[in-house]
Amino acid sequence: MIAIKTLPDWAALLTAFLVLAGAALTMIGAIGLVRFRSFYERVHAPTLGATLGIGGVLLASMVYFSVSETRPVVHEILIALFVTVTTPVTMLMLTQATLYRDRAEGKAPKITDAPPLPADVITPDRTGVRQD
Amino acid sequence: MSMTILTWSLMAAQFMLAIAMVCACLRMFRGPRAQDRVLAMDSLYLNGMGLMLVFGIVSGSTLYFEAALVIALLGFVSTVALAKFLMRGEAIE
């Protein structure tokens, strides 16, 4: 806590709110990573930190440096773009690899374990078209 | 007054990001299978990147931004390589 420059009130409060929201969302995602039971549930939790958590911290950094250096500092957009593009790719590849490994051992989750879609409730033959 | 709020919220944010890293480490050590450990490592480097950015705000230097960018790039490459290794048994074909 040494080098914080003095900011106007609105910028300081906005930075504080954004940084707190981002860190809290990241922590909630990490707690979900510990508490969920199966891998297919767990893969959803850290994406909360990867999207809104990192986004909040990046926005706070942009606001803080733009106000304290009195010029627009937007190079944080680089990280935001990169994380937004790469997180779905990595999660998709990881889930595909997990599904492949589970199927090779015959332990893949059955589709019937999922709760029924609204269309399935209306039409039992899974076409989604009403029969009447 | 508002600078006091900013100082304390930056400290709280660092604390919460550290707790998130501890949770990811817990899953990495406990994870029943390899894919859980890879997922936990992915989450760990993202949390570390956020902590770097908060350090940058606290110290007022843009030096930490470049460290966060490098962490993001290397973490993506390593997670993709590990996922390919779990799928095929080798990372580079």
Quick check: A97 and B86 CB within 8 A?
A: yes
For B65, what's the count of Cα atoms within 13 Å in the CB-facing half-sphere? 19
**N-term to C-term CA, chain A:** 70
Q: Tell me: pLDDT of A70 over 70.
A: yes
Mean pLDDT of all residues belonging to chain A = 81
Architecture of domain B2-88: Orthogonal Bundle (1.10)
Question: Which of A14, A20, A25, A33 has the most B C-beta neighbours within 10 Å, making it the best mutation to test the interface with B?
Answer: A33
Residue A9 pLDDT level (bands cut at 50, 70, 90): confident
Residue A46 has its nearest CB partner, among B42, B61, B73, at B42
Contact B53, B66 (CB under 8 A): no
Quick check: A42 and B36 CB within 8 A?
A: yes
Q: Tell me: pLDDT of A116 over 70.
A: no
Within 8 A of B83 by CB-CB distance, chain A residues are 90, 93-94, 96-97
Rounded Cα distance, B65 and B90, in Å: 33
pLDDT value for A121: 52
Q: Tell me: pLDDT of A25 over 90.
A: yes
Within 8 A of A27 by CB-CB distance, chain B residues are 16-17, 19-20, 23
Contact B66, B52 (CB under 8 A): no
Q: One digit per residue, pLDDT tens: chain B, 93 residues?
A: 888 888 899 999 999 999 999 999 999 998 788 889 999 999 999 999 999 999 999 988 888 889 999 999 999 999 999 988 888 876 666
Quick check: A27 and B26 CB within 8 A?
A: no
Residue A127 pLDDT level (bands cut at 50, 70, 90): low
ipTM of the complex: 0.87
> DSSP 3-state assignment of A35?
helix
Of A53 and A120, the one with more pLDDT: A53
Of A112 and B43, the one with more pLDDT: B43
